[in-house]
Each structure stands twice: as C-alpha cells, then as structure tokens.
Amino acid sequence: MAINKVVASFDEAVKDFFDGATVLLGGFGTPGGCPSYLMEALGRQGAKDLTIVCNNVGFGKELMQVVAMFTKAPDWWYDGGQLADNRQVKKAIAAFPVLASPLLVSPFEKQLRASEVEIDIVPQGTLAERIRAAKAGIGAFYCPVGPGTIVEKGKEVKVIDGRKHVLEYPIKADFGLIRAYKADRLGNLVYRGTSRTFNATMAGAAKVTIAEVDEVVEVGELDPESVVTPALYVDRVAVRPEAGRTQIVQRIGKEEQLRK
C-alpha cells in the first residue's frame, strides 16, 4: 500500500492527544507560521495539563481581537494563548511567555500572576537548540548563554575556553504542531519565506509531528532542492481550508506589492 500521511481533518490529526502531554507549537508569534487550525482543533479536543513549548505563548481570544484591529489579522488565527484561555495549559517553556506592554495582559500572564501555571523562560536560540538536540538524539550540551542570570539557576556551569557555559538538556515532546506551505502525501515539506521560523526545527523533535499545510501535491512534484523537512520527520499532514489558504495568498500578494 502506498504511504499517505494526509489525514481527513484537523480533529482527526489531534484525536490522540492526552492530558499531561508536552506539545511543541511552531511559529514565531504571527499568523503566517502558526499552525492555527491544529491548535484550534486541540482546543476542541480538550486535552488538559499540557506543557507547551513555543517561542511565545500567544494572545488569547480577547487580545486577539484588539491585535486584529491594528494588524488586519485573519479571522482563523488561533494561538497558544487561546489554549491557555481554555485552561488547557499547565506549563509553558518559552522565550517570550508574556507581552511587553502592561496594558496587554494575556490569559497565560493572568494565570501566571495567580500562580495557576508554571513557566520556564529559555533564551530564543537556546530554545531552538534544545529542541534540535531532542531531534538529533544529543544527550546534553553546554551553552554560553545564561551564566549569571536566572537561566543559570539550578544548572551545572562549566568554564570552556575561559567562558562560562550552562549545561542544557533536550526538550523532549510527545507531539509537535507545525506549519508549512506545501507537502506531498509522504510528508516532505516546503516552507514559505519567514514562516519557516521554529517549524522546521520542531519537525521530528517530538514522538509525533503533525504538519498543517496549504496544499498537498503528488510525490515527485516538489523540487528536492526546496524540501526543507524530509518525510522521515513528519507523521501526519492536515490541509487547511480553502478560505484560510486564500487569505494567506492575498496577504502575501499585498506585502509583495508594498515592497515594490
């Protein structure tokens, strides 16, 4: 039987998520690289006590409406903040867990202030490398970022070439939700512009990697030189609805016109 990793729906893609799972959430904090439909499906699925690993936790429903007023954000944008809004998040491992403005308080920040959730703040580059280390099977590594700061607390520190390094361990996850542009039915992935972000790093770093894509093509249609994530790292593929794909294309078209 030919391999086909494309699932029928986003709900099917996340149906086996369980309470207490560790989940990688791709993207950087904007809709272009965010696996929004997968996260929305996870919200419907209802798994709780999740540990989410992401660049930033996200806005949540109320703040998303405010942000949309100024950024023309698409109506399908769903992020980790909405999972926190649903009380599905127990802990976040993130580079930017809350927003910089005291006027914009996300659901996760409210819960953090009330000691209802936990946070592990990790420098952005270190976060990417800890995820990559899980993907590569690396047991641990020394990193020069963090000595003398809160990042060092409780960790081994070693001087290498006259500079202090902190011992960091891989972030091992149960599931990874990522966003790509195109896939074939085998799971080979192509990304579009800056939307690659953490997505390519997270692909294959979890026991199960699920990719949300705009389009699925036949095997052989993707230029091998353009494939960033090989099928080996992808377990499931879910295709975005036409409306969501159209909005992305229109948005990219407008941005390209502005650059010209």
The verdict on residue 240 lying in a domain is yes
- pLDDT score recorded for residue 246: 54
- pLDDT score recorded for residue 135: 96
The verdict on residue 63 lying in a domain is yes
The reported pTM is 0.90
Distance of CA 29 to the CA centre of its chain: 9
Q: Which two tokens stand for residue 43?
A: 């919200």
- pLDDT score recorded for residue 31: 85
Q: Which residues pair with 91 in a beta bridge?
A: 51, 118
Report whether 190 contacts 214 (CB < 8 A).
Answer: no
Q: How many residues does the chain have?
A: 260
Q: Cα separation of 30 and 125, whole Å?
A: 18
The verdict on residue 153 lying in a domain is no
- pLDDT score recorded for residue 160: 97
Q: Nearest to residue 229, comparing CAs of 194, 199, 193, 192? A: 199
* Single-letter code of the amino acid located at 237: V
Tens-digit pLDDT string for the chain (260 aa): 478 999 999 999 999 999 999 999 999 988 889 999 999 999 999 999 999 999 999 888 878 777 767 777 788 889 999 999 999 999 999 999 988 777 788 999 999 999 999 999 999 999 999 999 999 999 999 999 999 998 999 999 999 999 999 999 999 999 999 999 999 999 999 999 989 999 999 999 999 999 999 999 999 999 999 999 999 999 999 999 975 555 455 554 554 555 55
What range does the domain containing 85 cover? 10-137+171-259
CB count, 10 Å around CB of 101? 7
The verdict on residue 156 lying in a domain is no
The verdict on residue 22 lying in a domain is yes
Q: Nearest to residue 163, comparing CAs of 145, 144, 148, 150? A: 144
The verdict on residue 160 lying in a domain is no
Q: Nearest to residue 31, comparing CAs of 179, 230, 201? A: 179
Q: How many domains does the chain have?
A: 1
* Single-letter code of the amino acid located at 243: A
Report whether 201 contacts 128 (CB < 8 A).
Answer: yes
The verdict on residue 151 lying in a domain is no
Instruction: Give the CATH number of the domain where residue 73 resides.
Output: 3.40.1080.10
The verdict on residue 163 lying in a domain is no
| Burial classification of residue 217, based on how many CB atoms lie within 10 Å of its CB (0-12 exposed, 13-18 middle, 19 or more buried) | middle
Q: Cα separation of 234 and 232, whole Å?
A: 6
